Copies of this chain bind each other. A is one copy, B any other.
Amino acid sequence: MAQKNNLKYILLGLLNEQSLTGYDLTKAFDSDIGEFWSANHSQIYPLLKKLELDGLIAHELVTTGEKLEKKLYSITSTGVDELTTWLHTPTPDLNANKDEFILKLYFIDQKSDPLLRPMLTEQLTLHTNKYLHLQTQMKNKFNNQMPSSNNYGHFLILEHAILREQEYKNWLEKVIDNLD
């Protein structure tokens, strides 16, 4: 979906914590931030170039081994300013979260439709796995406790994600039980 260049702020936000390469930034979407946003390297590399042109980030070359060069990006003070401005900007719009399964379900008219049970159980598996995955993340990153300092936001969104998956699981289980 054509959003408001949120990816730009994600990159600035991540670089505000530490200097990273495009590859590192790409990987960040496989874990942490991946629970809430997705992006491919083919989108990230060009954007990094643009952000550098705009003076929001800068890179230095680092060589690994014999000749493998990486571009280690860091945020500039202008970049920090833009990030801060973004954080201070209200977020007044709730965007419909586009869930393909929910869409299909919308078009199932009858409780007796034989498609219903396999669809629901498939989703239950997916959401149970996601739930367990998030639990593990919480254990690994925060040892199930609210951090006394730092990463408070990260803790909060992980907590929220877990509650969300729990709700999704519970609802699916209830609906499946009720099919009989």
Contact = CB atoms under 8 A, between A and B. Distances in A.
Interface stretch (A18-26, A29-37, A55-63, A65-73): A29-37
Interface in A152-171: 152-154, 156-157, 159-160, 163-164, 166-168, 170-171
Contacts of A53: none
A140 interface: no
Contacts of A16: 107
Interface of A: 1, 3-4, 6, 9-10, 13, 16, 33-38, 83, 86-88, 90-111, 113, 115, 119, 122-123, 126-127, 130, 149-154, 156-157, 159-160, 163-164, 166-168, 170-171, 175
16 contacts: A1-B1, A13-B103, A38-B95, A86-B104, A87-B107, A87-B115, A91-B101, A93-B100, A95-B99, A102-B160, A104-B153, A110-B150, A159-B171, A163-B170, A164-B164, A167-B167
